[in-house]
Chains A and B, each alone.
Chain A
């Protein structure tokens, strides 16, 4: 069953194309940032799929996006320019950051013209963010209705919320299982599961998640209490090779704070009379990307709580090269974990990772964490 998620992760485009064949009257919409409220598309009977990079060197984005934009934004745009997402009926984003926003702007100029754009507030700490986002989502809903030629009812929205909330609860259940001393799945396996969920019809994903929890994870010991418990956090990250390398060193990644991981699903939509407002509230309240964590630093105590709850010995912070919001948290984040006695290393991700160099840094971290065993 974990293998089924691995299969979807590796063959995400085939999955979407098959879905379209099975649902010939429905549409597939790509979204770039996890702040886009997918529930709106799902309520309209569509399949929302996250657009991620392929981690393969490419030479197609140079004429469209300046080299100092983050490798993720360039890798994402490359997928469109190379035609890998040619099955999309539209592309969408909530305002992500300038880098991914640049990829979106170029994508809509050169790849997919039909677009949906939500002005996601950055300063989610203001009480005016929820009413503003609610208003923008109501308009987005109307735009979708005009496109598909039918109304999206409150009942459609509530159904979508239920399906998505179930998905969030199931993923959260898997993360809770990772609190155990003998962890039932590796961090790499978990990344396959969470990231594959970004591409899947949530009803399919939920069915598979239930089966995986019941029939595969319960009673399983993928790693033992002897393995060093780590947390990964930072920018978008689905770098399987990197995680795999880390876990080869008698270490296990037990939790994360990535938009392809826990940040994506952590909090549910809380029920309210107005489903659009409920959705808006959820996206305002979700665990923060540094892009939206100001003026007060709320992310750091949240990360510390997570590290403690999952009994983490050390942290690997991973940041996409040139990712300004994460870079602007770097000093505060390293100081914070130093003050709280959690050894942390900070690495920069590119489209492909320099495994050899990173291996040395990771080994050094693990040696530091295990020095009690040495002496």
Chain B
């Protein structure tokens, strides 16, 4: 057995993360019986928006991913979801999250047990073409009303977008936030509470900024977290970032991660090489991270994992991204609905790197990836050419070329983040093993599937 280079320890926050996630899904199932407003929508839906109500929200992407987990434990059951959607006529090359989600509605089956929750309305920020139409299709099926907010993101900083353009974009979103609030009040017949909304907005900023700080802590050698673990941690920001318990969780997580850095507690005690990945992973096949571990390789993150619910602010002087400074950190007081709307719009436009990457690839997205390579001291990259999500695969081929031009060992594999029919595990593993060899790495211990 090869000697371990670093000490390691289980993450203390792990159980709490699982508990909060479970509570959120339980609250969704019980929302109607408790008189709450229940809405559905996407992860990038400015999810602080409905916090003016006593509410629960089923966020579509993690729910679609949760269905895809079934492919591992109960493949036949998984197929019933995806086939329900395809039998209804939704083409197989559409977003895999969406097809799983629609299958769940058509089967009237909540993947966590019981019937599919009776959603009051759908709300989506239209940063991704598919998401905007996804909830329109769902609205067709369920007859529930749908509001879409057009989120036109900032371009990457390298493009030098003018302040005038940025102001226009902020105003466009703020106007629509007010429009959305009026619409939600009409749909629910309930009054929107500005106080809880303001708190929700501040929480959304803080959760996402804290997540960025957690990711930044992973610049350390050895990395305190591996991406497989991060995928289970970031999801709380995806489904519940405006919640008080989620903000509190990230505060504690950051403390713990910084403590691990200070004490050199590694995610992978062998840490021989550091990689980044690109796009969502195949959620039903996270074993590939375990395979990497057997070579001492730690995946320190991904543009997606860092950014889906991370608040990243560009540092013009150093041409890099740091955790966004929250309104609280800047001493900005938020007292009114309009001020909160402005903060929320500005926050997403300035710090939301994934929604911007779905609209603009090119030189800006390449710069972001290269920044990660430099600042996270990365030795290689594994790019998931994700047939299930054209949003996150935007610009991937140019990113691969740029990484190779730079001399960074880079491999690709084709797959699908939520449809196992498009993922070939044996082939992917063979590619990873060859890639490890090209990086000069030797397997340190045997890989055992499912561990």
Contact = CB atoms under 8 A, between A and B. Distances in A.
B172 A322 contact: no
Nearest to A95: B359
Interface in A116-131: 117, 119, 121-123, 126-129
A113 to B, nearest CB: 10
A122 B151 CA distance: 9
A295 B147 contact: yes
Contacts, number: 144
B94 A334 contact: no
Interface string B159-181: 00010110011011001100100
B51 interface: no
Interface in B102-138: 126, 128-130, 132-137
Interface residues of A, number: 46
A325 B126 CA distance: 13
A66 B396 contact: yes
Contacts of B169: 119, 132
Interface residues of B, number: 54
B346 to A, nearest CB: 16
B343 to A, nearest CB: 19
Contacts of A102: 361, 390, 394-395
Contact of B133 (A99, A136, A290): A290
Given A105-B362, A128-B176, A69 B133 contact: no
A329 B385 contact: no
Interface in A42-75: 62-66, 68-69
B129 A122 contact: yes
Contact of A331 (B137, B179, B401): B137
Nearest to A327: B91
A65 B134 contact: no
Contacts of A97: 129
Nearest to B391: A98
Contacts of B397: 62-66, 106
Which of A95, A106, A109, A322 has most chain B Cβ within 10 Å?
A: A109
A99 B390 CA distance: 8
A294 interface: yes
Contacts of A295: 135-136, 139, 145-148
Interface in A326-361: 327-332, 334
Contact of A325 (B133, B360, B362): B133
Contacts of B152: 95, 119, 121, 132
Contacts of B390: 66, 68-69, 98-99, 102, 322, 324
Interface of B: 88-91, 93-95, 126, 128-130, 132-137, 139-140, 145-150, 152, 155, 162, 164-165, 168-169, 171-172, 175-176, 179, 358-363, 385, 387, 390-391, 393-398, 401
Given A126-B175, A295-B145, 13 more contacts: A98-B128, A98-B359, A123-B148, A123-B149, A128-B172, A128-B176, A135-B164, A136-B168, A295-B147, A324-B94, A325-B129, A328-B90, A328-B134
Interface of A: 62-66, 68-69, 95, 97-99, 101-102, 105-106, 108-109, 117, 119, 121-123, 126-129, 132, 135-136, 139, 290-291, 294-295, 297, 321-322, 324-325, 327-332, 334
